[in-house]
Amino acid sequence: MTDLDSTYVGELALLYDAWKSGDNYEAWADLLLDVIHTHRPAARNLLDVGCGTGNSSFVFLDRGFKVTGCDISSQMLEVARSKNKGSRAISFHEEDMCDLPSDLGTYDVIHWMDDVANHLPGPEALRAAVRSSAGLLSPDGILLFDVNTLQTFRSHFKEKKQYVVESEGVVFIWEGLTPTLVADGPARAKVTAFRESGENLWQKTSGIVDETHFSDAAILHAIEAAGLDHVETYGLPASEAKMITTVSDELLGKCIYVARRLK
């Protein structure tokens, strides 16, 4: 058994794709593509911040974008780079989203996909991350990111909340560890993975997931502080694959923010 650690380093990082195997990245990307076509119809190049193992990067590559990916986890980037095949090559970089270097280039679209924002430790880090991405946007470029709502935090991170995921010879157990969940507050859960390592043998690995809830007010403040123009917020109901123009921490699974760099 490994020591308790972040889910984004070590053995659990290498099992991330098995953990997320039930997620439909194709459908998720197509929802975001509609948003991109609405607000930046001529977009051609895209920076995938917090790309992890590259799942989100490759679906946008398949949709005709020139894609660059970055993440802070070297282990997850190792998996992402292993998926590069021939002309399907994406340049992946190990970077901190709060301090992206200018030599990464400029982009029509920068997106943080699948609650990347919630992994930031608090409002100061959120402001730094938005400001850092804003600095790499081309004129009229858009920053696009989703956040988990309080409803999602309560269904996943609340103390004693538990569920099991089975995939590709691995059994994952998720356990919420947060006694009280509040707006703009922290949340913690534990992930334990049991991976088949031989006949009747299983290897156990555990890790911690720390996230932060961000209210609409905190997010809009970060967007404004970075000098971006907030152009739209969409809601994504927990049980439906469609965008709505409603914001609710109590009724929705996610909210999706779109901000534009002014010319």
Same domain for 118 and 226: yes
Q: Kindly report the CATH number assigned to the domain that includes residue 199.
A: 2.20.25
**Residue 4 pLDDT level (bands cut at 50, 70, 90):** very low
Among 194, 211, 228, give the residue marking a domain's end.
211
Among 174, 192, 211, give the residue marking a domain's end.
211
Q: What is the dihedral of CA 148, 56, 126, 222, to 10 degrees?
A: -90
Same domain for 185 and 92: no
Say if residues 72 and 96 touch (Cβ distance below 8 Å).
yes
In a domain, residue 67? The reply is: yes
Same domain for 130 and 92: yes
In a domain, residue 8? The reply is: no
Same domain for 171 and 45: no
In this predicted structure, what is the pLDDT of residue 146? 95
Q: What is the mean pLDDT of residues 72-94?
A: 93
Range with top average pLDDT, 13-17, 183-187, 196-200: 183-187
Q: Which domain holds residue 201?
A: 152-211
- Please say if the pLDDT value at position 239 is more than 70: no
For a pLDDT cut of 90, what percent of the chain falls above it? 75
**Residue 8 pLDDT level (bands cut at 50, 70, 90):** confident
Q: What is the mean pLDDT of residues 84-106?
A: 94
- Please say if the pLDDT value at position 1 is more than 50: no
In a domain, residue 10? The reply is: no
Q: Give backbone dihedrals phi and psi of 219, rounded to 5 degrees, phi first.
A: -70, -45
In a domain, residue 72? The reply is: yes
In a domain, residue 3? The reply is: no
Angle at which helices 216-225 and 123-134 cross, to 10°: 40
Same domain for 145 and 185: no
- Please say if the pLDDT value at position 186 is more than 90: yes
Q: Kindly report the CATH number assigned to the domain that includes residue 131.
A: 3.40.50.150
- Please say if the pLDDT value at position 130 is more than 90: yes
Please provide the average confidence, as pLDDT, over all residues in the chain: 91
- Please say if the pLDDT value at position 35 is more than 70: yes
Give me the residue label for tokens 């459908």.
27
Start-to-end CA distance of the chain, whole Å, equals 53
Say if residues 243 and 235 touch (Cβ distance below 8 Å).
yes
In a domain, residue 1? The reply is: no
In this predicted structure, what is the pLDDT of residue 55? 94
Give me the residue label for tokens 């270097």.
101
Say if residues 186 and 119 touch (Cβ distance below 8 Å).
no
In this predicted structure, what is the pLDDT of residue 240? 64
In this predicted structure, what is the pLDDT of residue 119? 95
Same domain for 219 and 197: no
Same domain for 206 and 141: no
Same domain for 41 and 102: yes
**Residue 5 pLDDT level (bands cut at 50, 70, 90):** very low
Residue among 130, 86, 109 nearest 36 (CA): 109
Same domain for 207 and 99: no
In a domain, residue 2? The reply is: no
Task: Give the integer Cα–Cα distance in Å for 68 and 58.
Answer: 10
Residue 70's beta-bridge partner residues? 49, 93
In a domain, residue 185? The reply is: yes
Same domain for 193 and 69: no
Same domain for 120 and 219: yes
The total number of structural domains that make up the chain: 2
Same domain for 98 and 204: no
Question: What is the residue-wise DSSP string for 38-105?
Answer: HH-TT--EEEEET-TTSHHHHHHHTTT-EEEEEES-HHHHHHHHHT--TT---EEEE--TTS--GGG-
Tell me whether residue 123 is exposed, middle or buried, using C-beta atoms within 10 angstroms of its C-beta: 0 to 12, 13 to 18, 19 or more.
middle
